[in-house]
Amino acid sequence: MSNEKIKVGSKAPLFEAIADNGEKISLANYIGKYNIVLYFYPKDFTPGCTKEACSFRDNWDKLKDYNAIVIGISSDNLETHKRFKEKYKIPFILLSDSKKEIRKKYNAEGFI
């Protein structure tokens, strides 16, 4: 774990994780192909996190115009992610980081 903050313009730490659909996702597969919006959030179904996810959902067409993909990461399990996506019609990837390994790579564990 690094205490160093990631600087604007620096390379994103690579990771692999299982998505809400059960597929293994590797950040490396998206780099150079898309503009990546990666965000960490504490928990599915909480008011602030729901509002944030729905904001990305509501702006999905605009994001696609910029060739962007959104990847949301929380410690919730895949089943919770599936229910959250279904209830709020979330069109983007949700990853489970139950061991908080991705969060540590991004020095984001203190915020969640």
Domains of the chain: 16-111 (3.40.30.10)
What pLDDT score was predicted for residue 1?
44
What pLDDT score was predicted for residue 29?
96
* CB-CB contact of 112 with 103 (8 Å): yes
What pLDDT score was predicted for residue 22?
92
Q: How much is the mean pLDDT over the chain?
A: 92
Query: How much is the average pLDDT of 40-47?
Result: 95
User: Which of 25, 38, 49, 73 does the annotation list as catalytic?
Assistant: 49
More confident residue, 34 or 4: 34
Query: How much is the average pLDDT of 67-80?
Result: 95
Residues 6+ apart with CB under 8 A from 13: 6, 105, 106
What pLDDT score was predicted for residue 79?
95
Query: How much is the average pLDDT of 89-104?
Result: 95
- Per-residue pLDDT tens for 25-41? 999 999 999 999 999 99
Annotated active-site residue 54? The verdict is no
What pLDDT score was predicted for residue 6?
79
Alpha-carbon torsion, ordered 95, 98, 104, 108, to 10 deg: 70
What pLDDT score was predicted for residue 2?
52
pLDDT at 104 over 70: yes
